[in-house]
Amino acid sequence: MNASTSHDTRWLDNAILRIEADYQRSADTHLIPLRLPAFAAAGIDLYLKDESTHPTGSLKHRLARSLFLYALCNGWIREGTTIVEASSGSTAVSEAYFARLLGLPFIAVMPRSTSPEKVTQIEFHGGSCHFVERADQVYDEARALAERTGGHYMDQFTYAERATDWRGNNNIGESIFQQMARERHPVPAWIVVGAGTGGTSATIGRYARYRRHQTQVCVPDPEGSVFADYYASGDAALTAPGSRIEGIGRPRVEPSFIRELVDRMIVVPNIDSVAAMRALSALLGRKVGPSTGTNFVGMLALAQEMRDSGRQGSILSLLCDSGERYLPSYHDADWVRQNFGDVSEAQRRIDAAIAA
């Protein structure tokens, strides 16, 4: 073994150790029971797993850790490698954190519309931001930037579904079923998760099948996303305008979205997502992000359906990130009116669904 090789090996060993030590210092995220008396009386319990409490504020903390370990063990990242990623923001925040942990430069390629708060956080973690005009331009730009810098394009949209250990190893699926163990309906009838990369729905779907649970996976898809049409047709060449709900819904069929692992899709209008985001924020006493609103729309639809058919059970979803990231946008009444129009009718519908 020559000197440079043993130096590379030492760097790699140390990089993996740093990520594992960071994990060792971390706690699992809480599972929050929602207080919805009307559904509880019908034997239906709703839960949210609070993924906003990771050190980088979203479920993408899990993904970023997995992507770094996967790329390190594959030999794709070495000392000094510039990490480049295409993102709508949350993944870039989490990857900037891990890049700094390893002393690596990080560049996020994102649509210009990305929340300024996410840009601030990427820069806070030592990363830099590179903007494109449209969401469908992030992929080519990230790949080209990685080539120009001699860096590594992380490519979450391809690798999310395979970088996570789907059989367990404390993945989100294993954690969910453990945390539900003492509830009155410990095996959820439904787990509801929006799809950005599709990695979370794939991991949960695989894990549930592997453990032979009866749980079904429902993906609520925001209007403008391609996933619902792809789910119906199976045509991976489809494209769409793209989503207006940050973090979920895509303009192209992402390789990590595994259609066969999804039992049901529900198309969610943007105003419903915003109205549900507000209603849920009021219910919890703290603000949630818009993709969590989309999840809540899906949960309420399934809960109503279960009640109507006399079925009891639990429904679980994710609090993907906190609303603090979206105070000047989705949580600002003027911004919402300008971007989505009048939400009041949707608000009445969601409030009625919660109360009924």
Ligand X SMILES: *Cc1c(COP(=O)(O)O)cnc(C)c1O
Contact positions toward ligand X, by CB under 6 A? Answer: 58-60, 90, 160, 194-200, 247-248, 289, 291, 320-321
Cβ 62 to ligand X shortest distance, Å: 9
Please, which residue, 60 or 331, has the CB nearer to ligand X? 60
| Cβ atoms of residues 115 and 332 within 8 Å | no
Q: Counting Cβ atoms within 10 Å, is residue 232 exposed (0-12), middle (13-18) or buried (19+)? A: exposed
222 phi, psi to nearest 5 deg: -70, 150
Please, which residue, 195 or 336, has the CB nearer to ligand X? 195
CA atoms of 196 and 112, how far apart (whole Å): 18
Please, which residue, 44 or 217, has the CB nearer to ligand X? 217
| Cβ atoms of residues 209 and 96 within 8 Å | no
Place of tokens 């009116």: 337
What secondary structure does DSSP assign to 91-117, as a single string?
A: HHHHHHHHHHHTT--EEEEEETTS-HH
Cβ 86 to ligand X shortest distance, Å: 12
Please, which residue, 191 or 306, has the CB nearer to ligand X? 191
Please, which residue, 127 or 194, has the CB nearer to ligand X? 194
Cβ 79 to ligand X shortest distance, Å: 29
Cβ 325 to ligand X shortest distance, Å: 8
Please, which residue, 42 or 284, has the CB nearer to ligand X? 284
Q: Counting Cβ atoms within 10 Å, is residue 245 exposed (0-12), middle (13-18) or buried (19+)? A: buried
CA atoms within 13 A on the CB side of 334: 1
Cβ 269 to ligand X shortest distance, Å: 17
Express the helix, strand and coil content of the chain in percent, nearest 5 each. 50, 15, 35
Name residue 277's amino acid: M
Please, which residue, 298 or 313, has the CB nearer to ligand X? 298
Cβ 318 to ligand X shortest distance, Å: 7
Please, which residue, 40 or 266, has the CB nearer to ligand X? 266
Cβ neighbours for 229, distance < 8 A, ≥ 6 positions apart: 235, 238, 240
Cβ 169 to ligand X shortest distance, Å: 17
Please, which residue, 92 or 300, has the CB nearer to ligand X? 92
Cβ 320 to ligand X shortest distance, Å: 3
Which H or E run contains 339?
helix 333-340
| Cβ atoms of residues 240 and 251 within 8 Å | yes
Q: How many residues does the chain have?
A: 356
**DSSP one-letter code for 310:** T
Cβ 153 to ligand X shortest distance, Å: 17
**DSSP one-letter code for 302:** H
Please, which residue, 45 or 95, has the CB nearer to ligand X? 95
CA atoms of 273 and 74, how far apart (whole Å): 39
Cβ 124 to ligand X shortest distance, Å: 17
CA atoms of 308 and 152, how far apart (whole Å): 51
Place of tokens 């779907």: 205
Nearest residue to ligand X on Cβ basis = 247
Q: Are β-strands 44-50 and 313-319 bridged in parallel, bridged antiparallel, or unpaired?
A: parallel
